[in-house]
Amino acid sequence: MTSEKSHLLCSMLFEQSDLPMVLLDTSGRIMDWNAAAERVLGFTRDEAAGQSALLVRRRGEQRRLDLLLKRIVQERRTAAFETTVTRRDGGTIPVELDFAPLENAEGRVTAVGVVLRDLTRRRELERRLAEQEKMVTLGRLAGGLSHHVNNILAAVSTQVEMALATGSPGAAEQALRLTAQSVDRLTHLTRNLLLFTAVEHRDPAARCRPAVALAALVEQMTGDLGRRGIVLDAVLADAPEVAMDAQNLQHLVHNLIVNAAEAIDGDGTIRVRLTVGGKGDAVVTVSDSGRGIAPRHVPHIFEPFWTSRGSIAGSPGSALGLGLTVSQSLAVAAGGTLRVAATGNTGTTLRLRLPGLPANTASDAAAAGDRD
């Protein structure tokens, strides 16, 4: 095909395409655009010619476009990014801009072609999908919460009836003790629910020393676990401050320990380790000697009320509920992560990483507190 025919074919495709197409010079100024671009954006060819700001309107994106064009010309590569363009009537359109370098007969890049792909429909589908997923999550949350609360209330009712019916003070005392445990479970559940709905409103100035907060938690939980035949083995290094208040950190790790305890049938050991990561992070690992988690179940354990024994948590040996969901949300809100580090027939290890605060940040916060 001769260069004249090739040029004619390209011109026909440019003019007749239903997709908005723009021709830029190597400095990013508009040389031409097709009828589809006129129709979608509302500016005529003459109005667009020589302009450089019609493609992007967000602050800072013109510089991003300039750098992208420079790389396209220098490296002869295609590229794309998503932005929002403004029509002549003031309306906006979410678009993907696809860039491609255009070479002359000597192989030198002399222009850049741009195709605008309207993302309005895709964004609407994404919004609907997100809404649908949210409703599914809310449905699971409501179902799981109702199931959990009903189980606890049924246990409380049975235990109160036993206490009233028995003629033995010892039996009545035992029934009341079980009732108190059920109330504690309900309190823990409602605390998790409150945290689940309030994570995004956390105090940005919150901070604490992990070793101090976790030492108090370990002391509090050691006795209860010991009565179940579970040894709580904790080694806590002096890690840097983290962006989370002591109460939330204690609740986060408490959930991990409770989950570990539920995985242990009979006697066993839970190991809690607080170390300092390579980047100065505070790293907490909680390992149990329980039955482990099947690999196929690992991706689901942070879902609300999920359990390997059914879609609703609450069966014996299953205390996932909202605990791990809340713990992961608290970790992410503080800039950290919570992941399954290891699992198998000999138990499971969960690894919490929280970014350590720089020493000057911690001291500034302490000074501010003193001034208050």
Read off the pLDDT band of 195 (50, 70, 90). Answer: low
Q: How confident is the model at residue 176 (pLDDT cuts 50, 70, 90)?
A: confident
Measure the CA–CA gap between 329 and 41, rounded to whole angstroms: 42
Given a contact cutoff of 8 angstroms between Cβ atoms, the answer to whether 51 and 85 are in contact is no
Across 133-137, 157-161, 164-168, 225-229, least confident range: 133-137
Give pTM, 2 decimals.
0.51
For 5, the enclosing helix (H) or strand (E) is helix 3-16
Between the CA atoms of 250, 251, 254 and 260, what dihedral angle is there, to the nearest 10 degrees? -130
DSSP code for 298: G
Please give the pLDDT value at position 253: 93
- Which tens digit of pLDDT belongs to each residue from 3-59? 565 566 667 778 788 889 999 988 888 888 899 999 888 888 888 888 876 666 666
What is the pLDDT confidence band of residue 352, given thresholds at 50, 70 and 90? Answer: very high
Residues in the chain: 372
Any idea which residue has 């992560």 for tokens?
A: 337
> What is the pLDDT at residue 363?
45
Q: Phi/psi of residue 148, each to 5°?
A: -60, -50
Q: What is the mean pLDDT of the chain?
A: 79
Site of tokens 């014996």: 316
pLDDT band per the 50, 70, 90 thresholds, residue 126: confident
Residue in the structure block whose two tokens are 């390997």: 308
Selected residue with higher pLDDT from 286 and 333: 286
297: pLDDT strictly greater than 60: yes
